[in-house]
Structures are given as C-alpha cells and as structure tokens.
Amino acid sequence: MLTAILICCGLFIAQESVLAKKPAKPANTPLELTEADRTFIELREAARKNDAPRAQQLAASLPNYIMSDYVEYFKIKPQLFDAGGMARAETTADSQVMAFLSKYEGTALADRMRNDWLLVLGKRKDWRAFDAEYPKFVLDDDTSVKCYALQSRLAQGEIAAKTAHDARLVMLDPKFYGQGCQELVPLLLNAGAITPAEAKAYGRSAAEMGLETMGRKMAGEDPIGEVVKAARADPVKAYRDFSQNAARYSKENQAAGWGVIGQFLAKRQDLRADDVFRMQHDLGFSELLSTESQEWKVRAALRAQDWPLVRDAIETMNPAVRSKDPAWTYWYGRALEATGQAAKGKEQYELIHEQFNFYGQLAREELGKKTQIPTRVRVTDQEIKSMTERKGFIRGERFYAMNLRFEGNREWNWELRGMSDKELLAAAEYAKRIQLYDRTVNTADRTKAEHDFTLRFPTPYRDELTPIARQIDLNLAWAYGLIRQESRFIMNATSSVGASGLMQVMPNTAKYVAKKIGMTSYTQEKLKDTNTNLTLGSNYLNMVLVDLDGSWVLASAAYNAGPSRSKLWRERLNAPVEGAIFAETIPFHETRSYVKNVLSNASYYSGVMTGQTISLKQRLGTIAPKAAMQSELP
C-alpha cells in the first residue's frame, strides 16, 4: 500500500545554531519555514525538473543559505541533464563539477554528484576521465554507470567474453538500464562476445516490461516480438495461438516464446503455466529467459507443486538472479528434499538460516530450530550522546523537518557507513529518542553480530494500540508487524494513492469502517489523529481476517491489495498449498513482499513483546480453494 513515504507539513526554522546542538524537540516536530527555506525547496524542485535557468535564478537568491553544498548541487545538476533526464554530452559545467567534487569530497552529496558526472562522461565516451572518477564512486549503485564501466573496459581491449560475463551479472532489470546498458548490448554483439540470440534476449526482457523502443535499440526486431506483445495483452490467447504456430519458429525461438507466455500465464495464476514452462525447459535455452521469466518459472512450478521443475528452474537461473533473493536458496533446498536429496537440501538451509527475514526463519524451522530473539546488546548514554554530534545526523534531522525526506535519508545513511554494530545500535537508539522511528528500524537492521531487537522491532504508540487490539481480540504482534511494514511508524506518512497514517488507511476504507463500528464523529481530517488511525486500521484488519476465515496470509494480502484480489488468488488454486507457496506466488510484487515481511515481522514482535515466538509455518498455515464469494469490504 505504501511504496513511497512522504512526510507532510514538516516545517523548520532556518537558524544556523540548530545545526550545532541536539534538537530540543523530536526531529519530526513541525516548525515554521523561513522564506529562505521555501526558496530552497523551490530550487530543489527546479533541479528535479532539470530547469537550469530557474535553478540558476533561485540559487543566486540564496548566497548564505546554511545548506550551501545543496544550493551548489541543485544549481549544477540541471546543467548535466535534459528535461527528459538524459545526460548531456555537451555541457559547460565541467569546471563547476570538478570544483564541487574537490570542495566536498567524502560527503554524501559529492558521491551523488560523481554519479551524475559519470553518466555525462559515459555519454561522451571520455573513458580516461571516467576511469579516473569511477573508483571514487562509493555507492556504485547505478546500473547505467556500471554498464558504462563495462563499455570502458571493452574499449580498452579487455577480452570481450569477460565483459559479456559481467554484463549478465549487472543487467538484471531493464527499468534501470539507462543509456549505458542500451549501448553496451550492440557493442558486445559486434565484438562477438554475445550471440544474436543473446542480444535478442536482452531486448526481449525490455519488451516484456512494455519498453519496446528500448528493446529494438538494443537488439533490433525480435522474431517473437509479436508473441511478447500478445502475451502481455492476453496470455491465454497467446498460448492458444502459439500452440498452433510454434513449429514455424526455430527451437531457440520456441523456447523463448514459451518462456514469455509462461511468465504472463503465471502472473495470471493460470494452471497451464507449469506445463508451458515444462515445454520451454525441455527445449532448453533457459539462459535466454529474462529475470522475470526465470523467477516466475519457479513460482509456476511451486504453485503446481512440481518439485522437479522447481529444482531444475533454480539450477538454470542466472547466478546473479539466484543469489539476490534468499527465496531461491530456500526453495532449492525444499526441492532437493522433495526429490530425494535431503542432506543437500539441509545444506541450502544452512546458508540462510541465520538471516533475520522470512526465508531465514523458514530455513531455521526446516533445520528443527526455533526462531529466537538474539541476546540484547545495550549501549551507554555516552555512546548515544556521541551520535548527537554526527554531522550527517544533524543535517538529516534538518531535512526531515523540512519535508525533504529523500535528502534526509541520504545524509543519515551516509553517516552509517563503516559503523560498528555498537555504533549502529547507538545511532538507532538516538533515532528512537528523537522519534525518527523509521531511522531506528533502518539503522538497527544493519547490525551483523550484535543486535537489539527492541530497536529493529520497536513498539511506539503501545499505550494507544494495546487497548484497541484487546477490545477486538486482534493479535498485537501482527498489528505491529503490519504497521512496521506500512509506515515505519511515521504518523503523518501518506502514500501516492492517498493512504495515510500509521496504518496507511485509505479514505474510503476509513469511512466504511467508521460507519461499521459506530464512529459517528469521523471526518477524513481525523485520519491524521493517532488514535483514530489505529482504531480504524485495526478494526479493518480484524474485519478482513474474519472475512478470510482467520488466515493471516490472506488477510495481510487483503489489507494491501484488497479482499477481492485476495479471494481471487485463493480461488485460482486447484489444490491446497502451503501458506509460504501462496505468498511467494502472489502476482503483485509489492503485495508479495508485503505479506512475507508482515508475517516475518509478526513472529519477531511476538518474541520481543512476550518472549515467545510462534512457528512461522504455523502462522502461514495452508491455503485451500473455496467457493468464490464477493466481499462487501473495500
């Protein structure tokens, strides 16, 4: 429900002294903006739109603004990109960029500027300058920059096969290809490092996401391009048509066609998806499937409980795809056990059983171990006090108060780099004390060996939530698990679709629930009130739980995607499945991640609050098809 959290109406007094001391109030306390603050926010928006003239004008009116580095950055950045966000090969800002990087070296913003500059240098094909700057790019989290780095290696004579190998590990999601990756594919093809079929596979992965122009730019026309379009529009019809026409294509293209059709059938939870992927698998060429098709091949086999195909599909995954998500390690272990290789299956569980996530918990249970809360490591007041002097935290708090959460997170997270576990816990406790609960969770989540799960799974607003949950017999650990996922305890969070508050309640849902429970004084404005938001969200969660026969899996999915969708996904089953399989095969990426995270959170919250953890498998239960019923719930 909440894909991007925005903090509304956060205000701040622009006084330099504020940056020099610990805030007297919680960091999310609204304060008053100055005229300079408002101008700064306008400048930020102009930079976002790459409106260089407007940015120049606004920056000139802020000669002494306290965040002078951001003023400089917002002035320079629009000179590097056009209105469409594409890097400009021709720009007169070179000297400004280099001066900025020299002046602010080692800061979060300099790293951001270097990211931007590398895109410009890559666009220019200025590999000498690119290679000088790239090793200094600390975060190195831009796929297009990575592809430019591969272009540079290729241009300087690296063995093309090595470049092609590394490209397969980098180019996993077409949404992040940018110009660097789009240019890399034809370069690799021309160098003989990839085959025409491999080039087509890169283009096809883009076309599957509706990025046909990008696909053609990388690889030209795809022999099964029309099949891709048909599968996206109506996979059942595409299945029928391709069944009649597949023989017209080469085996390679038949395999590719079935892979695409299988993906979109699986996303519709069509029972034929497993058979389609089996046809693809028998033909081979699994390495030519997109990341999406590789993952949905496993999910289709899971839903059909086709354990041999689960095993084979994971074994033929791109190693980078397989390693990015513990799901595939867990399900590979399950598939090995199901196909008579129990010892090897347990070896897979051992790889992830210490991870504090959904599949780490399930792996522990497969090994016969209970989910346990690690021994709490405490930090001293002095260690916490030392965090008040950290520049990144001070700057981050200022940005949070100005409703600039993106910049606040950048500064806060940059400060966390290189911290020991004890320092991270001190920073998390500091965030808790100033009521930045999302930073509390984010920071405590980073510890490796020393932990404090009261910080990873905090319980703010407990005095308000406990009596509400008790009155309707709602599991408190589950409610907290949901809030942690929904809003990270940011009371004035709002989503892009209008959900708001701690429990991210939609206005229409709030109105419906208020009427059902007799809250006659309800107005939409009251959704901002903590107690009202918790009351309406908790009652709605309980309503969907009752409506969905007490299944936490179905109710969690319903809270995120709506009861009708949750019921539809259940009715598409042809036999009972484990709750974990149901969760993994939810068609919506957001809801799939949501359900897994909420239920994993709930297990840990139970341990934190009561000292007793319940088996995650027990919470997940079994999901069985049931006669379809239309719910009146919104």
Q: At what angle do helices 225-233 and 196-208 cross, to 10 degrees?
A: 20
- Residue at a domain's end among 141, 168, 197: 141
CATH of the domain at 508: 1.10.530.10
Mean pLDDT confidence for 413-420: 98
In SS3 terms, 98-114 reads as HHHHHHCCCCHHHHHHH
pLDDT score at 26: 66
For the stretch 520-550, pLDDT in tens is 999 999 998 999 999 999 999 999 999 999 9
Cα-Cα end-to-end distance for the chain:
14
Instruction: Read off the DSSP letter of residue 457.
Output: S
pLDDT score at 85: 96
- Residue at a domain's end among 141, 173, 201: 141
In this structure, the dihedral spanned by the alpha carbons of residues 102, 107, 110 and 115, taken in order and rounded to 10 degrees, is 130
**Selected residue with higher pLDDT from 418 and 5:** 418
- Total count of residues recorded for the chain: 634
pLDDT class of 436 with cuts at 50, 70, 90: very high
Tokens read off for 503: 């429990």
- Residue 190 inside a domain? The answer is no
Residue 470 pLDDT > 90: yes
- Residue 1 inside a domain? The answer is no
- Residue 552 inside a domain? The answer is yes
pLDDT class of 298 with cuts at 50, 70, 90: very high
Mean pLDDT confidence for 500-506: 94
For the stretch 17-42, pLDDT in tens is 333 344 445 666 655 899 999 999 99
**Structural domain containing residue 136:** 34-141
d(CA 523, CA 532): 10
Q: Which amino acid is residue 304, in one-letter code?
A: A
- Residue at a domain's end among 141, 161, 191: 141
pLDDT score at 24: 40
- Residue 333 inside a domain? The answer is no
Mean pLDDT estimate for the chain = 93
What residues does 493 pair with on adjacent strands? Answer: 7
Q: Work out how many domains the chain is built from and give that number.
A: 2
Residue 417 pLDDT > 50: yes
pTM of the model: 0.93
pLDDT score at 627: 60
